[in-house]
A and B are shown apart, each in its own frame.
Chain A
Amino acid sequence: MPQGDGIIYQDSFPVEGGNFETAGQVSGRIKAILKNLNLPKEIIRRATLVAYESEINIVSYATRGEIKLIVKPEEVIVEADDIGPGIEDIELAMQAGYSTANEKIREMGFGAGMGLFNINTYSDIFKISSEVGKGTHLHMVVKVNEKEPNEIN
């Protein structure tokens, strides 16, 4: 239903920290919502990916968090907020391959240090802020009409 500021759809979803059994469910719902809204396939693919990586980060590191989806005609916005340990060195955390994941997380094939790197690659706007001991906030935008970046085929 149309809402203010050109918002076509808006909802938020709680994510439980440490629960790998349900990891990916929120991203699955977001993907289904975007499909229902008939957005271009490539936009769905990219928005789902940034949602998934945010969700996995909350599950892997935070106590709990929330992912918010805002869809406008010109862009899809994904916001991820968590209550958790925060990130000490954001620049380092953005580097491909850098990870603070523990052994259990790595054994499952997570914690490869690709999450934030993937988000940065697949979103058109990516802002990250974090406070150690409090939590992390991610703001990601996938533009609907933007020409696709070259590195993504």
Chain B
Amino acid sequence: MKLIDIARELDLKVRAAAEKMEKEVSGGYVGDLLSDVMGNAREGQVWITRQTHQNIVAVADLKDLAGIVLVNRCEPLAETVEKANEVGMPILVSSFPAFELAGRIYILIAKAKGVSFL
């Protein structure tokens, strides 16, 4: 499933690197601790977080994540957007809290992969 399809289904707004929304999303990871994400997120996953500062871009880029989704109507800082555009890392925003957003994205990906999830 592509990032752009997830964004459309869940009404996520794109704040950076809109040209990279065709990336394939393999799964997701939720976390606000950067070392946790660094150690445990996998390539191609979408990262759900409420951290808004620019260091999230470096982590997502180093880990080759598909994109970052900020929860709870959080907006990325200006320098975060700038950096994300520079490296081509999509940042999206959502009005959902992390738990609900993760659940919805999980269902979308599981359906797309034809996996039973309940």
Given contacts A24-B59, A25-B58, A56-B34, contact A108 B39 (CB under 8 A): no
Residues of B within 8 A of A112 (CB): 33-36
New A-B contacts (16) at CB < 8 Å, excluding given A109-B49, A121-B39: A21-B54, A21-B79, A24-B62, A27-B58, A27-B62, A31-B62, A48-B62, A52-B38, A52-B58, A52-B59, A108-B51, A108-B53, A110-B55, A112-B35, A114-B35, A114-B38
Known contacts A49-B38, A108-B53, A122-B39; A114/B33 CB under 8 A: yes
B: residues with CB less than 8 A from A are: 32-36, 38-39, 43, 49, 51, 53-56, 58-59, 61-63, 79
Interface of A is mostly: helix
Can you list 14 A-B pairs, Cβ within 8 angstroms, ordered by A? A21-B79, A24-B59, A24-B61, A24-B62, A25-B58, A27-B58, A45-B43, A48-B62, A108-B51, A109-B49, A110-B55, A117-B39, A118-B35, A118-B38
Chain B residues within 8 Å of A122, by CB: 39
In the bound complex, CA of A109 to CA of B34 (Å): 5
Contact with B along A14-51 (1 / 0, CB 8 A): 00000011011101100100000000000001001100
Q: Range of interface residues on chain A?
A: 20 to 34
On chain B, the residues within 8 Å of A135 by CB distance are none
Report the bound CA distance from A55 to B62 in whole Å. 13
In the assembled complex, which residues on chain A have CB atoms less than 8 Å from the CB atom of B58?
23-25, 27-28, 52
Give the contacts of A110-131 with B (CB-CB under 8 A): 110, 112, 114-115, 117-118, 121-122
Least Cβ–Cβ distance between B51 and chain A, in angstroms: 5
Binding site for B on A (CB under 8 A): 20-21, 23-25, 27-28, 31, 45, 48-49, 52-53, 56, 108-110, 112, 114-115, 117-118, 121-122
Q: What is the minimal beta-carbon distance from B13 to any residue of chain A, in angstroms?
A: 22
Bound Cα distance from A138 to B56, whole angstroms: 24
Nearest first, the 3 A-B pairs at minimum CB distance are: A24-B58, A114-B35, A112-B33
**B62 with A109: CB separation less than 8 A:** no
Contacts of B43 in A (CB 8 A): 45
CA distance A121 to B54 in the complex (A): 26
